[in-house]
Amino acid sequence: MAEPVQHLFSYSFVVLMMCVLIFSGCSTEPERIQKVNFEEAEFSSFVESEFPFITTVLDTRNLGQGFPNDDIVSRCVALQLGPQAHACFDTDMLRWAVSWTGSFISLTTMAQISYNDLHNKANEIPRVLGTPKIATGLYPGWAGPSPTFTDPRQSSPKADSLSWGPISPEKGRWNGIHLQGEKVVLDYTVRGTSIHEMPGSVVVEEKIAFTRTIRAASPADTLTMTAAEVTNGKAGKINNQTATIYQGDDEGRVTKIGIIAEGEDVRLNITDDRYITVQIDPAEEEVQFTVVMWKGNADSADLFSQMLEQANTGMPSFKNGGAARWTETVHTQGQISPDTAAYVTDQLTLPIPNPWKRNVRIHDLAFFEGDSAAVVTFAGDVWIVRGIDEQLDDLQWQRFASGLYSPQSIQIVDNEIYVFGKDGITRFHDVNKDGEADFYENFSNLMAQSIVSRAWAGDMVKAPSGGFYIAKGGALDNGPQTVSPTVAKGFRAGSRHSGSVLKVSADGRSIETIATGLRGPYLGINSDTGILTGSDQEGNYVPATPILLIEEGDYFGVPPTAHRNPVPDPTEPLLWIPHSVDRSGMSQAWINSGKMGPLNDQLIHFSFGRPGLFKVLMDSTEQVVQGGITTIPAHYPAPTMKGAINPRDGQLYVAGFDLWGSDATKTSAFLRLRYTGKTDYSPHAFHVHKRGIVLRFDVPLDGRQLKTRHIIV
List the Cα angle 327/180/100 in 5-degree steps: 115
When comparing pLDDT for 343 and 30, which is higher?
A: 343
What's the confidence (pLDDT) of residue 475? 94
CB-based burial of residue 697 (10 Å sphere; 0-12 exposed, 13-18 middle, 19+ buried)? middle
Cβ proximity of 333 and 627 under 8 Å: no
Average pLDDT of the segment spanning 460-464:
98
Pairing of strands 532-535, 545-550: antiparallel
Q: What is the pLDDT of residue 549?
A: 97
Within a domain: 16: no
Q: Give strand ranges (E) for 477-602.
A: 486-488, 491-492, 500-504, 511-516, 522-525, 532-535, 545-550, 554-555, 575-577, 585-590
The domain boundary residue, chosen from 573, 589, 619 = 573
Q: Residue 536, Cβ neighbours under 10 Å: how many?
A: 28
Cα distance between residue 173 and residue 176, in whole Å: 9
Which of 257, 283, 316 is the last residue in one of the domains? 316
Residue 708 belongs to a domain: no
Q: Give the pLDDT mean for 309-320.
A: 94
- For 537, 608, 686, the CA distances from 577, given in Å and listed in that order, are 11, 13, 16
Residue type for position 579: H
15 pLDDT more than 70: no
Q: Quick one: average pLDDT of 604-612?
A: 96
Tell me the C-alpha distance between 130 and 610, whole Å.
43
How far is residue 497's CA from residue 449's CA, in Å, rounded to a whole number? 8
Q: One-letter amino acid identity for 445?
A: N
pLDDT in tens, 121-177: 899 999 999 999 999 999 999 999 999 999 999 887 777 788 999 999 999 999 999
Specify if 528 maps to a domain: yes
In order of 111, 159, 537, the CA distances from 483 in angstroms are: 21, 12, 24
Residue range 646-652: mean pLDDT, rounded = 98
Q: Of 177, 178, 181, 179, which is closest to residue 50 (Cα–Cα)?
A: 181
Q: In sequence order, what are the residues at sequence separation of 6 or more whose Cβ sits closer than 8 angstroms to the Cβ of residue 616?
A: 547, 574, 575, 588, 602, 603, 604, 605, 627, 628, 629
Q: In angstroms, rounded to a whole number, what is the distance separating the alpha carbons of residues 6 and 4?
A: 5
* Domain finish residue from 298, 316, 334: 316
Q: Can you tell me the mean pLDDT for 685-707?
A: 79
Which is nearest to 343 in space by CA: 686, 712, 654?
A: 654
Closest CA to 67 of 236, 295, 270: 295
Q: What is the pLDDT of residues 345-382, one digit of tens each?
A: 999 999 999 999 999 999 999 999 989 999 999 999 99
**Cis amide linkage into residue 568, ω under 30° from 0:** no
Q: What is the mean pLDDT of residues 20-39?
A: 72
The whole-number pLDDT of residue 707 equals 56
* Rg, C-alpha atoms of the chain: 29
For the ranges 1-5, 417-421, 542-546, the lowest mean pLDDT is seen at: 1-5
**Cross-strand bridge partners of residue 424:** 421
Hey, is 222 helix, strand or coil? coil
Half-sphere exposure of 564 (CA within 13 A, CB side): 20
Q: What is the pLDDT of residue 18?
A: 44
For the chain, give the percent of residues with pLDDT over 90.
Answer: 85
CATH number of the domain at 265, please: 2.70.98
Strand order across the 373-377 sheet:
330-332, 395-401, 382-386, 373-377, 362-367
Between CA 478 and CA 444 the distance in angstroms is: 28
Per the domain annotation, does 210 fall within a domain? yes
Poorest-pLDDT segment among 7-16, 346-355, 447-456, 621-630: 7-16
The SS3 of residue 194 is: strand
Task: Tell me how far apart the alpha carbons of residues 422 and 532 are, in angstroms, rounded to a whole number.
Answer: 22
What does pTM read for this prediction?
0.94
pLDDT at position 483, please? 77
pLDDT at 661: 82
Contact yes or no for 278/259 (Cβ under 8 A): yes
Instruction: Name every residue whose Cβ is closer than 8 Å to that of residue 337 and which is 6 or more positions away in sequence.
Output: 344, 345, 346, 347, 635, 674
Neighbours of 417 (CB within 10 A): 22
Is the confidence at residue 8, as pLDDT, over 60? no
Q: What is the pLDDT of residue 689?
A: 82
Compute the distance between CA of residue 350 and CA of residue 353 in angstroms, rounded to an integer: 9
Q: Give a yes or no: residue 663 inside a domain.
A: no
Distance in angstroms (rounded) separating the CA atoms of residues 587 and 640: 9
Phi first, then psi: give them for residue 111, nearest 5 degrees.
Answer: -70, -35
Q: Which residue has the higher pLDDT, 23 or 467?
A: 467
Task: Please determine, for residue 3, whether its predicted confidence score (pLDDT) is greater than 60.
Answer: no
End-to-end CA distance of the chain: 95
Q: How confident is the model at residue 21 (pLDDT cuts 50, 70, 90)?
A: very low
Band (706; pLDDT cuts 50, 70, 90): low
What is the mean pLDDT of the segment spanning 602-631? Answer: 91
Q: 711: pLDDT confidence band, cut at 50, 70 and 90?
A: low
| Greater pLDDT, 691 or 140 | 140
* Domain presence at residue 226: yes
Give the three-state DSSP class for 325: coil
What pLDDT, on the 0 to 100 scale, is given for residue 12?
Answer: 44
Residue 704 pLDDT more than 50? Answer: yes
Chain-wide mean pLDDT for the chain?
Answer: 93
> What does the pLDDT read at residue 642?
98
Number of domains in the chain: 2
Q: Is the pLDDT of residue 250 over 60?
A: yes
Q: What is the pLDDT of residue 701?
A: 76
Q: Is residue 230 part of a domain?
A: yes
Q: Is the pLDDT of residue 312 over 70?
A: yes
Based on the fold, state whether residues 266 and 125 are members of the same structural domain. Answer: yes
Nearest to 617 by CA among 682, 545, 707, 521: 682
Peptide bond before residue 639 is cis, with ω within 30 degrees of 0: no
- Cβ-based burial of 379 (10 A; exposed 0-12, middle 13-18, buried ≥19): buried
At 694 the three-state DSSP class reads strand
What is the dihedral sign for C-alpha 152, 156, 160, 164? negative
- Tens of pLDDT along 473-520? 999 998 887 778 899 999 999 999 999 999 999 999 999 999 999 999
Tell me how far apart the alpha carbons of residues 472 and 523 are, in angstroms, rounded to a whole number: 10
Q: Does the pLDDT of residue 23 top 70, yes or no?
A: no
Distance CA 528, CA 505 (A): 19
If you average pLDDT over residues 309-328, what whole number do you get? Answer: 95
Q: CA-CA distances (angstroms) from residue 500 to 15, 563, 586?
A: 72, 9, 15
Torsion over CA: 80, 82, 113, 588 (sign) = positive
Nearest to 443 by CA among 395, 396, 407: 407
Which domain covers residue 245, as residue numbers?
53-152+167-316
pLDDT at 269 over 60: yes
Report if residue 563 sits inside a domain.
yes
- CB of 130 within 8 A of CB of 104? yes
Helices (H) and strands (E) in the chain, counts: 4, 48
Q: Which residues contact 492 (CB under 8 A, 6 or more apart)?
A: 452, 475, 476, 477, 482, 484, 485, 486
Give me the amino acid identity at 55.
T
Q: Is the dihedral of CA 356, 357, 358, 360 positive or negative?
A: positive
